[in-house]
Structures are given as structure tokens and as C-alpha cells.
């Protein structure tokens, strides 16, 4: 299978690469497409917007992991980090700056194109929807590890415990239990984890298998 996929945005080449089962987009190509969306007044600052956005929304592994034969494609960015960057740059539609507002509207066009293109790229590489979900989850687990909630089911009740949050709660159904955990987790994180960014709270539910031992 060809490890590269090439398409275009407004006449600009945009290349994607598959490495170790994960998807990346050329940093240079993405930068060129973002720059093309910026107004003349903001274009000289495009590199700053891209690098700052990537620094805030990801980590070094998003880029360091992806040097695929420099003479062929060069540095690349994890596809999910690139999508987050475009989402961020599309969010300045209510600012006072005419240049920034217009640029944001244009980047939103690029964002919509990117989402549609990822579907084509996945088809080219044979990546399934579940492959994409696992890829995104693995990346999120790396840059923002979830707090582990241990779940057990005994005597008709579901119980959830998380030492970091100081959480112990129970419910009659699993759905009710997870709803209850999510309802109290932000407040517990604020109280028991000083400096923790509650807006970035992620939880991982792990089931504890209870052994049934029957006496002879």
C-alpha cells in the first residue's frame, strides 16, 4: 500500500501519510493552506498562529513522531492535532479585528474541507471508523491521561471508586452510575486536586471482575 495520499485545497498540495497505523498531515502543506486563508494583513503572522496553536492543543509527540523521509514529505502533524488547530483558528468570528474575523471565516472553509478529506484519506488507507476512534483516544490518553474510575457490580448494585478524586458512589444501573460520577467529578477534582484543569477532565471507567467462589 502507498503510505502517502495527495490531494489539493484551492490549488495547494496537501499530503497525508500513514505511519504505524496512524494518520498524519504534512506540516508545510497545512501551514500553506492556513496561510492562504489569512488576509494580507495577518499572513505574516500565520506561522505564529500555527505554532502557538499546536503548542497549546498538543504535545511534542504530535510532531516529533512523524518525520517520514524528509526528502519526500518532511515534518508531519497528527491528523487530530491538525483538526483541533483548524477548529481553534475558526473560532475568532466575533472579534473586533476585521482581519482576524475574515481570516477565521476563511479557515472555517478549510476546516470543513479537511473533515471531508479525512474521510477520503481513511478510505484510501483502509482505515475504519473504529481505527479513527482508537487513534484519537490513544492521542488523548497521551496528552491528557484520564482519571481511572474502578467499577464493580455486586449484589445488584454498581459501585464506582476513584482514589484521586476521593470518589465512592453506587447506583442500581451502570448508566445511572456513570451519570452520577460525571455529575460529581468536576467538583471533587476542584476540591481534591489543586491546580487541576477541570475543563480538561477525562475519566476512564475500568471494570473489576468479581470472582464467584462457591463453597463445596
* % of the chain with per-residue pLDDT over 70: 87
Contacts of residue 214, Cβ cutoff 8 Å, sequence gap at least 6: none
- Grid cell locating 10: 484551492
**Main-chain dihedrals φ then ψ at residue 197, nearest 5 degrees:** -85, 100
How much of the chain is helix, strand and coil, in % rounded to 5?
50, 25, 25
pLDDT digits (tens, 9 = 90+) for 21-47: 889 998 889 999 999 999 998 888 888
58 C-beta neighbours (distance < 10 Å), count: 20
pTM of the model as a whole: 0.71
- H/E stretch holding 57 reads helix 46-57
Average pLDDT over residues 96-117: 93
pLDDT digits (tens, 9 = 90+) for 83-103: 989 998 998 888 888 988 999
Give pLDDT, residue 178: 92
Q: Where are the domains of the chain?
A: 4-141, 146-207
**Range list of β-strands (E), 34-137:** 67-68, 74-78
Higher-scoring residue by pLDDT: 139, 36: 36
Regarding the domain with residue range 146-207, which homologous superfamily does it belong to in the CATH classification?
TTHA1013-like (3.30.2390.10)
Inter-residue long-range contacts of 28-33, CB under 8 Å, 24+ positions, other chains counted: 28/74, 28/75, 30/77, 30/82, 30/85, 33/9, 33/110
CA torsion, ordered 109, 73, 5, 38, to nearest 10 deg: 10
Q: Counting Cβ atoms within 10 Å, is residue 148 exposed (0-12), middle (13-18) or buried (19+)?
A: middle
- Grid cell locating 93: 468570528
Judged against a pLDDT cut of 60, whether residue 181 lies above it is answered with yes
Amino acid at each position: 500500500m502507498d503510505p502517502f495520499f495527495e490531494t489539493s485545497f484551492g490549488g495547494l498540495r496537501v499530503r497525508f501519510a500513514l505511519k504505524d497505523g496512524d494518520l498524519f498531515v504534512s506540516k508545510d502543506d497545512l501551514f500553506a493552506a492556513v496561510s492562504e486563508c489569512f488576509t494580507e494583513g495577518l499572513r505574516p503572522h500565520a506561522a505564529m498562529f500555527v505554532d502557538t496553536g499546536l503548542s497549546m492543543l498538543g504535545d511534542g509527540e504530535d510532531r516529533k513522531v512523524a518525520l517520514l523521509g524528509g526528502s519526500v514529505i518532511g515534518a508531519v502533524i497528527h491528523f487530530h492535532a491538525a483538526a483541533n488547530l483548524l477548529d481553534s483558528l475558526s473560532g475568532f468570528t466575533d472579534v473586533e479585528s476585521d482581519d482576524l474575523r475574515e481570516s477565521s471565516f476563511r479557515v472555517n472553509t478549510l476546516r470543513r474541507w479537511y473533515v471531508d478529506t479525512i474521510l477520503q484519506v481513511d478510505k484510501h488507507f483502509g482505515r475504519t471508523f473504529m481505527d479513527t476512534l482508537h487513534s484519537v483516544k490513544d492521542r488523548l490518553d497521551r496528552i491528557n491521561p484520564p482519571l481511572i474510575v474502578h467499577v464493580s457490580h455486586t449484589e445488584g448494585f454498581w459501585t464506582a471508586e476513584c482514589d484521586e478524586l476521593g470518589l465512592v458512589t453506587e447506583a442500581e444501573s451502570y448508566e445511572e452510575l456513570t451519570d452520577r460520577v460525571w455529575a460529581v467529578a468536576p467538583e471533587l477534582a476542584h476540591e481534591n486536586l489543586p491546580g487541576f484543569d477541570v475543563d480538561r477532565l477525562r475519566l476512564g471507567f475500568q471494570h473489576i471482575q468479581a470472582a464467584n467462589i462457591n463453597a463445596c
